[in-house]
Each structure stands twice: as structure tokens, then as C-alpha cells.
């Protein structure tokens, strides 16, 4: 079965729009990766300042290949400020959670 990676991003209120805009501008960056199955950016509704970045992968190896390949290159090449400086991160903290899918369900087709 698949694996799920959830990146928990602590985002101050004044950085929410910045974070969402950056994710919108990266549309398509992960979708073509081998083993990629799903992506969602989840905005907190109440009681927390943490966004969840949900991705599902065919295997841990596929996730690691993406992390060490195209994702790493995209983050290293994210220059955009004056003098080619990288923009300040929108999140003030990050934690990666890992899960194996042991059961799943979907509505009938």
C-alpha cells in the first residue's frame, strides 16, 4: 500500500497569503514525479496556525527520490529576491509526519 507524508507548517497569520501564493505558483512541480499519487494543501480553520501539506506516494523510495531530486532542486533554485536572494520562508517551523496506508475507502464510482 501507499505511504503518506504530512508536512506540518507553522504559519503566522501575516504569512498565510504568501504561503498559499507560493504553493499555487508551484502547481505541477510534484505531479509528474514517479510514484506520486496525491497532494493537498490544508488551511487551518480555527484553533491552530498549522497548515498541513499532504502527499501520498506509491513507496518510501519514490518519496525519497523526489525529495533528493526535483524537490531539492526546486527549493535550492527558489531565488526571487533582490540580488538573487531566496525569499524568506513563510513558515516559522516544520515537522514531517510519515504514515503507511493500511486501509482506504472511496465512494462508489
pLDDT for residue 77 is more than 80: no
| Order of all β-strands in the sheet with 36-42 | 36-42, 50-57, 3-10, 93-100
High-pLDDT (> 70) share of the chain, %: 84
What pLDDT, on a 0 to 100 scale, did the predictor assign at position 73? 59
What pLDDT, on a 0 to 100 scale, did the predictor assign at position 74? 58
Tell me the whole-structure pTM to 2 decimals. 0.82
Domain ranges of the chain: 3-77+90-100
Q: Give the CATH number of domain 3-77+90-100; options: 3.30.70.100, 3.40.1110.10, 3.40.50.300, 3.30.70.890.
A: 3.30.70.100
Instruction: Summarize pLDDT for 37-49 with one digit per residue, the tens.
Output: 999 999 999 999 9
What pLDDT, on a 0 to 100 scale, did the predictor assign at position 91? 92
pLDDT for residue 75 is more than 90: no
Distance (Å, rounded) from C-alpha 70 to C-alpha 65? Answer: 8
What pLDDT, on a 0 to 100 scale, did the predictor assign at position 81? 46
Distance (Å, rounded) from C-alpha 60 to C-alpha 32? Answer: 17
| Maximum alpha-carbon separation in the chain | 53
Of 77, 103, 104, 75, nearest to 91 (Cα)?
75
Average pLDDT, the chain: 87
Q: What pLDDT band is residue 69 in, cutting at 50, 70 and 90? A: confident
C-alpha cell at 97: 509526519
Amino acid at each position: 500500500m501507499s505511504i503518506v507524508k504530512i508536512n506540518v507548517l507553522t504559519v503566522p497569520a501575516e504569512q498565510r497569503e504568501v504561503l498559499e501564493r507560493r504553493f499555487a505558483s508551484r502547481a505541477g512541480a510534484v505531479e509528474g514525479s514517479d510514484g506520486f499519487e496525491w497532494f493537498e494543501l490544508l488551511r487551518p480553520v480555527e484553533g491552530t496556525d498549522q497548515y498541513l501539506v499532504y502527499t501520498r506516494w506509491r513507496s518510501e523510495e519514490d518519496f525519497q527520490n523526489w525529495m533528493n531530486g526535483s524537490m531539492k532542486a526546486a527549493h535550492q533554485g527558489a531565488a526571487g529576491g533582490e540580488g538573487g536572494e531566496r525569499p524568506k520562508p513563510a513558515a516559522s517551523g516544520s515537522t514531517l509526519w510519515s504514515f503507511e496506508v493500511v486501509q482506504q475507502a472511496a465512494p462508489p464510482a
